[in-house]
Structures are given as C-alpha cells and as structure tokens.
C-alpha cells in the first residue's frame, strides 16, 4: 500500500518550507497532498493558493477558514471544524504541519484527537510573540519532530518528547535557496514591475502582543528607510492582528522608491533575495535564509527575539534611526560567508529517509511524557 502524506499550508511562508519536502516525498513514490487554507485563500494577500495548484502529481484540497479581520481564535475554530470534516473522507497516514501558525495548531489537534500520526516541522524554536506558544503546542500534539538545529532539538526534548522522535533535518526552505532559482533577476523585475537596479528588501509583520504600538513601530521603521534615500522592495505583512496598521503605513510610502507587493512566487523571491543589498524587518527570512545566502540582515523589534544569530545578522528597535541608518550605510551590498546553523540544504533528503524507515511508522499513537534525567 502506498502511504499518503498530507501537508497543511496556511501561508506563503510555510509553503516555501513544505514544498521541498512534498516534492521529495512525491518523487520517492509516496501519495502526496496539500490541505490549503489560511492566507492562501485570500485575494488581499495574493491568492497564493495558485502556487500550490501549480505542483504536478500532488493532490490539492482547499478550505476557506477565515474572512479578513477574523480573530485568531475564530480562525482556529473554523479550521478545526473544516479539517475534521476533511479527514472523515481522507485517510492520511501522516499529516505534516509547520511552525507556529494557528492553522497548524488546529490541524495538529485534529490529528491528535483522531490518532493520526503528525510530523511537526521547525518546532523547538523561540521567538517573542504568541507564535512561540502555538509552536510549543504543536510540539506536544505531534508524534514526530523535524527540527532545524541541535538547539531546537534540545528544547523539544525539554518539552518531554522522546529522543527517537526528534530529527535534525535543517530548515527545508534552504534546500531551494541552495540551488539556482531557475529565474533571472531581469525576469523578476519584469514580472513584479521592480524598477530598481539596486534595492533592499523590507518585510515587517505585526507582533500580536504589541498591537497597540505596531503602527507606530512600522511608521518609525519606514521613516528611517525613506530617510536613507535607498530603494526597497516591500512584501506585505501576514494577516495577523495589527496588520491593518502596517498596511496604512505602506500605503503612504513614496512609490518611486518603494515597490510594495502582496506576495511573490517562491523562486522569484529567492532570486530577489540573493541579489538584494540588505534585508530589513522582522521576518524569519532575515534570521535564517539571509544568513544562509550571506545577505546582511537587520532584525527589527521583538518578533524574532533569540531566534538565531550569525555574523551577518544585526538587530535594532524600530525607533533606533541611528542604528538603522548606520546598518544601511555600512552593510549595504556587503556579502558574508554562508551560515549553516539552520541547515545545509539537504532537509528533503533527510525527510525521505525518515519516511522510508520503520521508526516513524512504529511510533505508538499514545504519547507519553519523557522525563529528562534528574540533575
């Protein structure tokens, strides 16, 4: 019998991480599908479900779990209901979720309560928002853990997971960045109407615990970027609470120096990133993908607190205009050696080895807390 591997994706970001794993599983002979929901389904965020539909040889099911402005608890409840209905007709052998989004937590809960094996990608990491709570919840709901680093593995073990269930495979999106994008920079500029020969990238998401000030933070950051005289490609924030305040700031940016986009196809974004002078903001891209490519990155605020470190990674508050200005002056266009703390670009191969082995499929469906040795 061919085993059925079902991936859950709710955002453009987690799809970029799950796609290499899904394609590798497909090519290894597994039946592969995607349950597509979340931001993918919203036209305001680029209707990125179309990216999933382009995959060949992979089944796609879609579910609208929210309207623009829905709070996260409502999105959670809708996703639980929709995914529960979906698996009544589907019988996946393994459900794969990623990271820290509310859709991942909802579907991992459905998997756990229905005794379906669930693998969690990139658990055991720390950050400064509610995302970290969701991520650790996913760890406790999942049966198998595909982490990006030894530090993440140690945290998963500290949460009581058994050592034989935790596998260090690296960050899967690095697999894609490790090979040529297949796209030229001229093609990126043409498709997304980017008029700049030289540019930085800016991505600033909401921090759900700082909703009351996130608009002010965004204004301070983009004021500093505007004052630099540099050109930037800006990717819109995720649809978290507070994103409206950020979007209001973006709508006021001078168009001659800021090209704002709701989203980008992954291969195009990869080519854009590897040719960027710098990246600024609070996306995980600046913490792991940029250092892997040697791109200078400035992490703003608390969203990625303690997430990672690298010689090319710097930090500042949104109000630190002098620090932001100094970073842009000193680091613009600089290149660093590749940092491999989050992997070397071979996560998909490691994932297929796990699928082909017996250990995953022999794991008991009833989880037990694994105490660490005393002392």
Return d(Cα 285, Cα 202) in angstroms, integer: 10
The token duo for 292 is 């892997």
Mean pLDDT of 179-197: 96
Helices (H), 265-373: 266-274, 289-293, 321-331, 347-356
Q: Has residue 6 got a pLDDT over 80?
A: yes
30-44 tens-digit pLDDT: 999 999 999 999 988
pLDDT of residue 254: 96
pLDDT of residue 68: 84
Domains with residue ranges and CATH for the chain? 4-177+344-356 (3.40.50.2000), 185-331 (3.40.50.2000)
Query: E strands within the chain?
Result: 4-9, 31-36, 59-62, 94-98, 118-121, 144-147, 166-168, 200-203, 232-235, 258-261, 279-281, 297-300, 313-316
pLDDT of residue 1: 78
92-149 tens-digit pLDDT: 999 999 999 999 999 999 999 999 999 999 999 988 678 889 999 999 999 999 999 9
Q: Has residue 346 got a pLDDT over 80?
A: yes
| CA separation, residue 292 to residues 140, 177, 191, 300, 335 (Å) | 29, 8, 25, 19, 11
273-302 tens-digit pLDDT: 999 999 999 999 999 999 999 999 999 999
CA neighbor of 82 nearest in space, from 139, 142, 41, 137: 41
| Local structure of 88: helix, strand or coil | helix
């Amino acid at each position: 019998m061919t085993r059925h591997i079902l991936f859950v994706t709710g955002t453009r970001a987690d799809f970029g991480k799950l796609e290499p794993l899904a394609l590798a599983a497909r090519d290894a002979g597994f039946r592969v599908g995607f349950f597509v929901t979340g931001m993918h389904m919203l036209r305001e965020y680029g209707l990125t479900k179309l990216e999933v539909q382009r995959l060949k040889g992979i089944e796609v099911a879609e579910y609208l779990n929210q309207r623009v402005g829905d709070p996260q608890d409502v999105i959670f409840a809708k996703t639980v209901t929709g995914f529960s209905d979906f698996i009544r007709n589907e019988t996946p052998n393994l459900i794969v979720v990623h990271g820290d989004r509310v859709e991942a937590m909802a579907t991992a809960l459905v998997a756990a309560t229905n005794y379906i094996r669930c693998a969690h990608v990139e658990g055991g990491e720390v950050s400064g928002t509610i995302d970290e709570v969701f991520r650790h919840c996913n760890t406790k709901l999942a049966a198998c853990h595909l982490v990006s680093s030894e530090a993440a593995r140690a945290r998963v073990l500290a949460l009581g997971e058994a050592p034989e269930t935790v596998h260090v495979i690296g960050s899967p999106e690095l697999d894609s960045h490790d090979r040529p994008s297949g796209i030229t920079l001229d093609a990126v500029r043409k498709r997304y109407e980017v008029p700049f020969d030289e540019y930085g990238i800016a991505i600033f998401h909401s921090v759900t615990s700082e909703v009351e000030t996130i608009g002010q933070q965004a204004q301070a950051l983009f004021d500093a970027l505007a004052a630099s005289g540099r050109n930037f490609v800006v990717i819109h924030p995720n649809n978290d609470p507070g994103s409206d305040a950020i979007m209001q700031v973006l709508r006021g940016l001078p168009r001659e120096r800021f090209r704002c986009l709701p989203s980008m196809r992954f291969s195009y974004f990869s080519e854009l990133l590897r040719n960027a002078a710098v990246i600024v903001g609070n996306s995980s891209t600046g913490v792991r993908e940029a250092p892997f490519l040697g791109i200078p990155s400035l992490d703003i605020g608390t969203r990625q607190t303690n997430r990672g470190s690298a010689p090319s990674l710097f930090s500042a508050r949104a109000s630190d205009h002098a620090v932001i200005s100094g970073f842009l002056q000193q680091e613009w266009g600089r290149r660093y050696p590749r940092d491999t703390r989050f992997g070397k670009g071979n996560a998909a191969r490691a994932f297929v080895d796990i699928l082909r082995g017996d250990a995953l499929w022999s794991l008991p469906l009833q989880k037990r807390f694994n105490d660490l040795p005393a002392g």
